[in-house]
Amino acid sequence: MTSRFFACRNILFSCLLLAQAAITSSAFALTVNEVVKDLACPCECPLVLEDCNMTCGLEWKNEVGEMINKGMTKQQIMDYFIGKYGDEARITPMQRINGKIYQYTRSFDTSDWVLLWAGIIVWILLMFIGIYIGVRKLFFNKDAAKASP
């Protein structure tokens, strides 16, 4: 009876381990966006491959998807593109300086933040000026009108 219990327990434990391995491998599956966020768009647009929707960028994304389906890792895919197209395939600090914008659609750059805060400050100033003029006309002009007759 005890040996039968241990045999059933071992079989159940083995099944659970296999199920966990299957779930874990699918949960950590490589996606196209995980790979292309570190690649530069091959055309002259100022975007990383992740954000580019031009024909050249879509072709590279399709190629990355085919490589993922073949079972290649991110490093193998990166090595392939860098080997085939050179360092221009990779987002480097020099490319960022020369105009390739990292995650263009996902963040503000410095000028956007300056314009945002300048607009907020101007709006607040206009609100205070409007309130000041309105209060002055509403309350202080009545006092001047009462005092004159």
The CA distances from residue 108 to 41, 50, 115, 116, 133, in Å, are 20, 17, 10, 10, 36
Return d(Cα 4, Cα 99) in angstroms, integer.
Answer: 69
Radius of gyration of the chain (CA): 31
Q: What is the pTM of this model?
A: 0.47
Q: Give the start-to-end residue ranges of the domains of the chain.
A: 1-29, 31-107, 108-149
CATH architecture designation of domain 31-107? Orthogonal Bundle (1.10)
Specify the pLDDT at position 51: 77
Mean pLDDT by 10 residues, the chain (149 residues): 61 59 53 83 74 83 91 90 82 63 58 89 96 89 60
